């Protein structure tokens, strides 16, 4: 990305002071943090470097570690600054497709699953495999199940989804922060393509010409300050968890059981927090808060809003049957007992009320409940349900060009991208990528 173009885009952003709390061990810039990360030789080393920037070197990886866990203290009551969402503890029992029984009471917000050793074991195994083979067939596999023939189809649709999400979160201000949009686009593509985390921090992977390094440089230039560092570390955490989740998906001897442990836990909090981090809802909440010019915000408000965003999405995907196509189905009928689904629903209902009745700003409450809006109306979920892509409409094509650029991919990405059906003919259902 040329410097002049980058500075022009950076200066077009929103003027806002930091929305995140001053809680990270790392006090330097986002670019300097990325320098610390990009020397990592393995995904496991990257994980521990990112963790050290977040918590410091003396974190004991107990549930008090805020990098992978979330021991929550409910916020103090205060005058609400917005109305309560209409789907709430008192109305939830009216909607059978949302799960019968409505609100079932407060669910324990504590951790049982020790995610740290599990995650360490998964990334260690796949680091070793990648070293042995000089890469793995899953790398750059299409994960969208929409049978994209070219990487450009996947990348342009991820940016379309980003614009649509941002409009659901921020309304007509969807285009005011080009850096926030690029950030959410990176968070989206990590879900859609199996991207090796070292390629992300090393700058090999690019979208519309931009690497994560370009983005961090632009965020520092645009005075994102510590918000840029929070966003970076949240993105790296997401990339590692997404990678671990995708690599550990296949059942059998290769499977270390990250998801089995999380799904098997009787305590829903473990799965909810992991889910939030794989979706990078925390980093996304930062972009929403900056776009909306609210802050500074407590870590609890940002996390609660982020968790609600994921849960409202999951509950609505489950209600309209999108989950039938997903590999991981945290709230589906198939993999979850009614009790567990009720727990997910009730965690959402508790947290969204806590946001409202502790006085959280309206954009955070809206972000938390936005699954009720974006799941029914965005192309992404209808495409998922039908297993095929829709054409990009002319107005959206114009927005993509205005907000992201002309060319979604480079020749290198075009070459390495593949539908992994070619590599794993026995695993996906006939005629489908995963
Ligand atoms: Zn920690």
- 250 CA to middle of ligand 1, Å? 29
Query: How far, in Å, CA of 264 to CA of 282, rounded?
Result: 25
pLDDT digits (tens, 9 = 90+) for 237-290: 999 999 999 988 765 556 667 888 887 888 899 999 999 999 999 999 999 999
Instruction: Report whether 230 contacts 283 (CB < 8 A).
Output: yes
pLDDT digits (tens, 9 = 90+) for 296-340: 999 999 999 999 999 999 999 988 888 665 555 555 444 456 788
Instruction: Report whether 283 contacts 362 (CB < 8 A).
Output: no
pLDDT digits (tens, 9 = 90+) for 332-362: 444 456 788 899 999 999 999 999 999 999 9
pLDDT digits (tens, 9 = 90+) for 26-39: 999 999 999 999 99
Query: How far, in Å, CA of 314 to CA of 418, rounded?
Result: 27
Query: What's this model's pTM, rounded to 2 decimal places?
Result: 0.93
- 328 CA to middle of ligand 1, Å? 26
- 370 CA to middle of ligand 1, Å? 30
pLDDT of amino acid 265: 82
pLDDT of amino acid 393: 97
- 115 CA to middle of ligand 1, Å? 12
**Close Cβ partners of 253 (under 8 Å, ≥ 6 residues apart):** none
CA-to-CA dists, residue 91 to 83, 86, 313, 374, 427, angstroms: 15, 7, 18, 21, 42
- 149 CA to middle of ligand 1, Å? 40
Instruction: Report whether 55 contacts 67 (CB < 8 A).
Output: yes
Candidates 422, 335, 420, 404; CA nearest to 155 is 404
- 195 CA to middle of ligand 1, Å? 24
- 331 CA to middle of ligand 1, Å? 28
With H, G, I as helix, E, B as strand and everything else as coil, classify residue 199.
helix
């Amino acid at each position: 990305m040329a410097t002049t173009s980058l500075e022009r885009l950076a200066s077009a952003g929103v003027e806002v002071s930091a929305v995140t709390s001053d809680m990270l061990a790392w006090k330097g810039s986002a670019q300097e943090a990325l320098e610390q990360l990009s020397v990592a030789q393995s995904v496991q080393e990257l994980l521990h470097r990112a963790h050290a920037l977040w918590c410091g070197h003396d974190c004991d990886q107990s549930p008090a570690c805020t990098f992978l866990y979330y021991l929550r203290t409910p916020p103090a009551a205060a005058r609400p600054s917005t109305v309560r969402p209409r789907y709430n503890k008192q109305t939830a029992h009216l909607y059978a497709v949302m799960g019968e029984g409505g609100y079932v009471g407060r669910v324990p917000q504590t951790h049982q699953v020790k995610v740290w050793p599990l995650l360490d074991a998964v990334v260690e195994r796949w680091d070793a495999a990648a070293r042995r083979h000089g890469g793995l067939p899953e790398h750059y596999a299409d994960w969208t199940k929409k049978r994209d023939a070219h990487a450009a189809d996947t990348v342009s649709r991820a940016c379309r989804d980003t614009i649509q999400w941002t409009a659901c979160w921020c309304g007509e201000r969807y285009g005011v922060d080009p850096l926030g949009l690029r950030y959410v686009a990176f968070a989206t593509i990590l879900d859609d393509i199996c991207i090796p985390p070292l390629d992300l921090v090393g700058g090999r992977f690019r979208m519309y010409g931009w690497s994560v390094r370009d983005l961090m440089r632009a965020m520092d230039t645009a005075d994102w300050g510590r918000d840029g560092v929070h966003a970076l570390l949240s993105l790296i955490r997401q990339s590692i968890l997404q990678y671990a989740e995708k690599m550990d998906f296949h059942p059998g001897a290769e499977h270390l059981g990250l998801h089995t442990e999380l799904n098997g836990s009787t305590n829903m909090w473990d799965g909810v927090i992991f889910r939030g981090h794989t979706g990078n809802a925390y980093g996304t909440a930062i972009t929403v808060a900056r776009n909306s010019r609210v802050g500074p915000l407590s870590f609890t408000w940002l996390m609660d809003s982020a968790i609600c965003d994921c849960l409202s999405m999951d509950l609505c995907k489950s209600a309209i049957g999108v989950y039938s196509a997903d590999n991981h189905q945290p709230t589906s009928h198939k993999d979850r007992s009614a009790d567990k689904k009720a727990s997910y629903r009730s965690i959402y209902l508790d947290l969204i009320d806590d946001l409202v009745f502790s006085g959280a700003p309206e954009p955070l409450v809206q972000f938390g409940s936005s699954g009720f809006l974006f799941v029914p109306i965005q192309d992404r979920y209808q495409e998922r349900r039908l297993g095929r892509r829709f054409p990009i409409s002319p107005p959206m094509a114009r927005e993509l060009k205005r907000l992201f650029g002309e060319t979604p991919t480079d020749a290198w990405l075009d070459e390495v991208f593949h539908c992994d059906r070619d590599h794993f003919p026995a695993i996906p259902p006939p005629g489908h990528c995963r």
